[in-house]
Amino acid sequence: MAKRDIRMSDDEIARFLAAQSTATVIGSPPSGAPSAAVGRLEYDDGAVAFSVHDDDPVVALLADDDRTCCVVEQFPSYYEIAGVMLHGRARRRDAAAPGEATFDLAVEKVVSFDFAKLRDVS
């Protein structure tokens, strides 16, 4: 049986990201296990940014290697599970709220899933 395509369209991704406010931001050292922080997502007409505590270890990781993955997900119920993974490069803004580090994300790859599409084809 063919694998079901549960990816979101570009419009669906835009609507999903506009409705979310939390992002899991992952950074990686040259070797060893990745680290991650949970912060605030900003999405405005295709532009993605995120903020995390400025003393979180992931900030130093992104300073050394700007490659990151930003995961945005919801799961109020099984068929409402949906998410977007944004891979790209993070550039820290000079200005941010006190105690925060804010990064603009130059998105290079997007992966999405929407479990509602499983129900649609059942």
Partner 1 sequence: MTAGPARAASIADALTFIGTHSHVYLLGRRPDGYPTGWAMTARARDDAVDFSTYRASAKVRHLAAAGVASVLAMSDDRADHCVLLAEGPLAVLDGAVWFDDDAPVAARPDVHRQVPAEVVEKVASRHESGKRCVLRVTIERARFSERLV
Task: Report the interface residues with partner 1, using CB under 8 A.
Answer: 22, 24, 26-28, 32-40, 51-57, 65, 67-69, 71, 73, 75, 77-78, 81, 83, 85, 87, 97-100
Least spacing, CB of residue 31 vs partner 1, in Å? 9
Least spacing, CB of residue 35 vs partner 1, in Å? 6
Nearer to partner 1 among residue 8 and residue 69 (C-beta)? 69
Residue by residue, DSSP assigns 46-61 as: TEEEEEEETTSHHHHH
47-53 and 67-74 beta bridge pairing = unpaired
Nearer to partner 1 among residue 17 and residue 51 (C-beta)? 51
Distance CA 50, CA 54 (A): 12
Q: How far is CA 108 from the centre of its chain?
A: 12
